[in-house]
Structure 1
Amino acid sequence: MQRRTFLSSSLIAAALAAAPILPVWAAGSLPYDDKGDPFAFVVDLSNAVLERIRGSDSLKSGNIDALRELVDGIIMPATDFTMMTRMTVGPKWRTATKEQRKALEEGFETLLMRVYAGGLSAVKDQKCELRPTRVKTVRPEMVIRTLLTSGSENPIALDYRIYQAKDKSWKIVDVNIEGIWMVENYRSQFASVLSQDGVDGLIRLFNEKGAELAETMKKKEASK
C-alpha cells in the first residue's frame, strides 16, 4: 500500500508542483484536448506523463530540470496551481500580501518537486484508464475517477478534481490518491505552522525543506 501510494503521488503531485522552465510541446500541440471531453482530457494527460517518463532516463533518475521541462510542456497548462496553493494554505491566504502569495506558490512548488522527484523510477508499464461507470455527465466542476493499471501490480485508484475555467478549458485543482486528497493532506500538515508562525513561518518551512531535500538529492547524485 505504501509503495503504491508513493508511486501514484510521485507521478501526479510532483508534476503538478513543478515550476515551468522551457516548453516541451509547441503551442497548440498539447497531447490532450483541454476544452473537449473532460474524461478524455484527464486520461490523455495522465498517459502522456507516463509515456514521457518511460522514455526518459533523466526523468526516471529524478533530474529536476527534466521534470520541470515535462511539467511546463504538459502538466502546468492543465493545472490551476494558484487555486491549489490557496486551498492548501486555507484562510490565511486571504490575509497574505501579493508577495507572500507568490512566495507560498514558489515554496510549495519546490517542496513538492523535491519530495516526489525520486519516485519516478517506479514508472514501468502503468496506464491510466477510467474507472468503470455508466454515468458520464459533464458539469462545470467534476471529479474524474481513474485507475492506474499495470500488468504486474494491483490497480491504484486515482481521482482528479477539475473545473472549467472562463475560457472553457479544464483545470486540475486536486488529486485523490487511494482515498487521500492531496490538498487536504497538506493543509492539515501546514495548519499548526500557520497557526503558530503565520504565513511567513510557512514560507520559511518551504524554503528550509526545499534546501534540505536539494542537498539530499545532490549527495545521492554524487554517490552514483
Structure 2
Amino acid sequence: MDRRTLLGAALGACALIGLPAAQAAELPYDDKGDPFKFILDLNNAVLDRIRGDKSLKSGDIEAVRKLVDGLIMPAVDFTMMTRMTVGPKWRSATDEQRKALEEGFELLLMRVYSGALTNVTDQRVELRPTRSKAIRDEMVIRTLMKGSGTAQPVGLDYRIYRAKEKTWKIVDVNIEGIWMVENYRSQFASILNQEGVDGLIRQFKEKGESLAASMKSPGAKE
C-alpha cells in the first residue's frame, strides 16, 4: 500500500470529512478522558467497522458517510480544519461561502480516500514509544499503524485540542511527516490568490464531479 492508501485505511476519512452533527449514540471511545486512549480507540473502532462491513470495504460513498456521521464526526473539528486549510481568505468569506468551502472540501476528501478502505485487512493502531505522556490542552498524539506481512509500520500523528465542552477534537493528521492541512493549504493557495474563494469552491465542485465520474467508469469499484 502507498502512503495515501494507508492514510485512508487508517482513518476511514477520519478528520478528513465534515458532516452535520451526528445523532446521539454510544461511541466506542471516550472523548473526555485519556487523549492517548481516545485516539487509539477511535482508530481501531474505525478499522473494526470497515472490516465488518462489505459496503465500506468496497468504498461505497454513502456507507462512508454513515460511518463518518455516526462514529468519526464527533471527534473532529472540521470547521477549524477547513479554516486552517483555506488560510487568511477564510476571514473575508461570507457564511454562505464558508459553508460551501466545508462541503466542497468534504466531498473532495471523501472521493479521494474512500477507495483506500478496500485495503483494510488486519491493521491495528498503537502508540509510538514516548517518554512523556503529559496531558495538555493542545497535543500531538503519535501512533503507528501495523499489519501482518513485510510492510513497514506507518507513522500517523494527530493534532488535537480540548474544546470548551472538555471533549478532545482532531484538527490535523500527519502521515510519515506530511501534515494534511499544510499539504492542502499549499495546493489551494494559488487558486485562492488568483480566483478567490469562489474559484476554490468551483474547483471543489469540478474535482468532486470528476472523481465521482471516474469511480463510475468501466472497471471502477461500485
Q: If the TM-score is normalised by the length of the shorter chain, which range does it land in? A: over 0.9
What is the letter of the counterpart of residue 209 of structure 1? K
Among candidates 111, 132, 146, match of residue 135 of structure 1: 132
Task: Spell out, residue by residue over 1:109-138, the C-alpha distance to the aligned partner (whole angstroms, 9 max, x if none).
Answer: 000000111111111110000001121000
For 1:187 and 1:169, the matched residues in 2 are separated by 26
Identity in percent: 65
Unaligned stretches of 5+ in structure 2? none
For 1:214 and 1:55, the matched residues in 2 are separated by 25
RMSD: 1.8
Shift of 1:6: 1.6
Which residue is equivalent to 1:121? 118
1:15 aligned counterpart, secondary structure: coil
Normalized per residue, the structure richer in helix is 1
What is the letter of the counterpart of residue 168 of structure 1? K
Shift of 1:220: 4.7
Which residue is equivalent to 2:169? 171
| Count of residue pairs brought into register by the alignment | 220
2:145 aligned counterpart, secondary structure: strand
> Does the 8 Å contact 1:20/1:69 carry over to 2?
no
> Does the 8 Å contact 1:162/1:172 carry over to 2?
yes
Which consecutive segments of 4 or more residues in structure 1 shift more than 6 A?
A: 221-224
1:167 aligned counterpart, secondary structure: coil
Shift of 1:162: 0.1
Among candidates 21, 27, 31, match of residue 30 of structure 1: 27
Matched, 1:146 2:152: no
TM-score (norm 2): 0.94
Residues 53 and 9 of structure 1: CA distance in aligned 2, closer, same or farther (over 3 Å) = same
> Does the 8 Å contact 2:214/2:220 carry over to 1?
no
Q: Which moved more, 1:155-164 or 1:144-153?
A: 144-153
Which residue is equivalent to 1:15? 14
Residues 216 and 21 of structure 1: CA distance in aligned 2, closer, same or farther (over 3 Å) = farther
Shift of 1:4: 3.5
Matched, 1:92 2:89: yes
TM-score (norm 1): 0.93
